[in-house]
A = this chain, B = another copy of it.
């Protein structure tokens, strides 16, 4: 049975001299606490602290990185999601272990299986059932319940992603944990006035949403509620990055039309772009860091959406434009004291062409880690180089894991730390940085920078 033994030097540069610099840098941060300012862990899971049901529900079903690659190889989603038998799901995963070669999924699993579950052989059709039993047994033990793992993972700060209508009771209940679990304000669906369901959706906000002024007040009130419950950021994911404001009169007119579902697509787009401007204004007022991640075609495959719901692996990137789209927002708020705008992208071309130049001028702008490609070493390297050469290390966002897969959090942050170490080691080896500067920078990138960018005290 081939061994599963993550190498201590994995992901570090190959050249022996560079690797030894990288290893030293990595060691300086390998065990530092994790700061995770954006992700999708379910706060209720943490609150309830009930044991994870089985390996498939823990590792496979909630992770569309895993299921989409199985699907791409011909495994039907119906064998993987929904009611699919957990043991069969796990077997399918083990049988297809070779599919993940070269991908981040392989990296995460090697680390997780080995470090959290003590597994020492590669998954395969032959050992699938043995591994299943081994993991399932551990999941029943107190050491592997959600809160115990949260503590073992060394997570200092963990942001979830939440609907503005949430009462945030789960978060309130988690205040006694040593980890700070903070909600994130994610108002997308309240800002898309063209959706057929919007007139009923908007009522979930509470407050007097019968008028545009009342709607703004309701949003401001919900943001205050989030701030009071420890939120540090407001997250926005629409198809483009437009931020052109409307006059209050025009905004009010479109809002009223939308209430009676009498709105054109162009009006809905104009209103949503206007609201991005308004969201920036509110961020200037209440201090929530504004994060943007435009540019995906959501739910590309309609049958999969209909049968299995959203977030099942077919949100596909499209090209995106920032320089012109963000100009109204930045012209107005780009130098506002304390305003932070983190720009994520699914279009890696934009890092060198647009994001780094914007971050290299506007105090408000930070270059977010490469969303959608957060764990691809190639894109990480491209991001690191493009941003730091144009805007310096101080304008990076720090790593974002953006994950639903709870157990992969340490492996993802570990991957990022290794890639940071490699990047800095290359700069030292090329005499572009002094060794003492690289040591300072790696600690900064892992610990201080995400706290500074996301205002985590």
Contact = CB atoms under 8 A, between A and B. Distances in A.
A392 B69 contact: yes
Q: Which of A68, A389, A393 has the most B CB atoms < 10 Å from its CB? A: A389
Contacts of A303: 331, 335
Residue of A10, A335, A365 ringed by the most chain B CB atoms within 10 A = A335
A294 B107 CA distance: 35
A362 B301 contact: yes
A11 B431 contact: yes
Interface in A301-338: 301-303, 313-314, 316-319, 321, 323-324, 327, 330-331, 334-335
Nearest to A436: B2
A18 interface: yes
A455 interface: no
Interface in A61-116: 68-69, 71-74, 98-104, 106-107
Interface in A327-380: 327, 330-331, 334-335, 346-349, 352-354, 357-363, 365, 372-373, 376-379
Nearest to A337: B74
A51 interface: no
Interface string A8-32: 0111111111100000000000000
A410 B433 CA distance: 20
Contact of A14 (B100, B106, B430): B430
A34 interface: no
A167 B11 CA distance: 54
B389 A372 contact: no
B101 A361 contact: no
A361 B316 contact: yes
A395 interface: yes
Nearest to A16: B17
A394 interface: yes
A334 B301 contact: yes
Interface centre among A7, A106, A361, A373 (most CB of B within 10 A): A361
A104 B432 CA distance: 9
A105 to B, nearest CB: 9
A402 interface: no
A431 B9 contact: yes
Interface centre among A17, A297, A377, A378 (most CB of B within 10 A): A378
A434 interface: yes
13 contacts: A7-B431, A9-B431, A11-B430, A99-B392, A101-B437, A102-B427, A103-B390, A297-B327, A303-B335, A316-B354, A346-B353, A352-B376, A377-B385
Interface of A: 2, 6-7, 9-18, 68-69, 71-74, 98-104, 106-107, 297, 300-303, 313-314, 316-319, 321, 323-324, 327, 330-331, 334-335, 346-349, 352-354, 357-363, 365, 372-373, 376-379, 382, 385-386, 388-395, 426-427, 429-434, 436-437, 441
Given A69-B360, A318-B353, A377-B389, 15 more contacts: A11-B430, A12-B430, A14-B18, A71-B363, A72-B359, A72-B362, A72-B363, A102-B392, A102-B432, A301-B334, A314-B362, A346-B353, A348-B352, A352-B376, A376-B385
